[in-house]
Chains A and B, each alone.
Chain A
């Protein structure tokens, strides 16, 4: 797969992954650019990687961590999206606020894991590669986080009754 095709197919996915952690659009776009510049320079590896998705996200993750470390950006901690004020008028935004609240109760790594599994359909092995942590840690964190999310989901349903 050539570089342009990789960019066309995966830019949105990588951007979405970055934006999940970084709310500043311009900083997120900058990190996306750094990520794909690195991909461009290392495109010989494209044919060798097990999963392109996991490889791209691991580069994005490292770029994000580097940037946040350098700038000591406050967005390392999770903050709900900007949509909260408009939530009442829009069911999708209401969902976003609800999921923001749920995710806000998990630690940063668990949020990244849950995002990867639920939104991108990644496996624990992929997430271990992306985050640079053991697969066993990903499995246990994912198990705990998902149990918590289901519990909170049920509580919310019971409260609504």
Chain B
């Protein structure tokens, strides 16, 4: 078979297998399979290779899938200013110790 024709036939087989042909194109495809032995042979080989390659598929375990999604959400949060958080926590703590508790709500409101 000529390389150009073979390349076109492979494209046609890919289109058929991936269900990208129209009904009329599919009918033409079936006619071709019936009438052209070489094309039929090529189709069978391509089908067989696909079947074998499907064994290469790997599945993601359910726990890994959930863990990864959770990590993505955690990592995508805006970065927290740790220093500012720490300063505010220390000020709160000092105020709690130094100022009598009945006064604290009034200071926090300021």
Contact = CB atoms under 8 A, between A and B. Distances in A.
Interface in A107-161: 114-115, 117-119, 121, 123, 139, 143, 146-147, 149-150, 153-154
Given A33-B71, A143-B7, A11 B60 contact: yes
Interface residues of B, number: 31
A119 B72 contact: no
B39 to A, nearest CB: 13
Tell me if A's interface is mostly helix, strand, loop or mixed. Answer: helix
Contact of B55 (A4, A41, A95, A143): A95
Contacts of B55: 92-93, 95-96, 99
Tell me if B's interface is mostly helix, strand, loop or mixed. Answer: helix
B85 interface: no
B108 interface: no
Interface stretch (B25-33, B61-69, B96-104): B61-69
Given A95-B55, A96-B55, A117-B14, 12 more contacts: A11-B69, A12-B60, A15-B59, A32-B60, A37-B75, A40-B76, A115-B56, A118-B49, A118-B53, A119-B50, A150-B42, A154-B45
Interface of B: 3, 6-7, 10, 14, 17-18, 42, 45-46, 48-50, 52-60, 64-65, 68-69, 71-73, 75-76
Interface of A: 4, 7, 11-12, 15-16, 19-20, 28-29, 32-33, 36-37, 40-41, 92-93, 95-96, 98-99, 102, 114-115, 117-119, 121, 123, 139, 143, 146-147, 149-150, 153-154
28 contacts: A7-B69, A7-B72, A16-B58, A16-B59, A20-B58, A28-B58, A29-B60, A29-B64, A32-B68, A37-B72, A37-B76, A41-B76, A96-B56, A99-B56, A102-B52, A114-B53, A115-B53, A117-B14, A118-B50, A118-B53, A121-B14, A143-B3, A143-B10, A147-B6, A150-B45, A153-B45, A153-B49, A154-B45
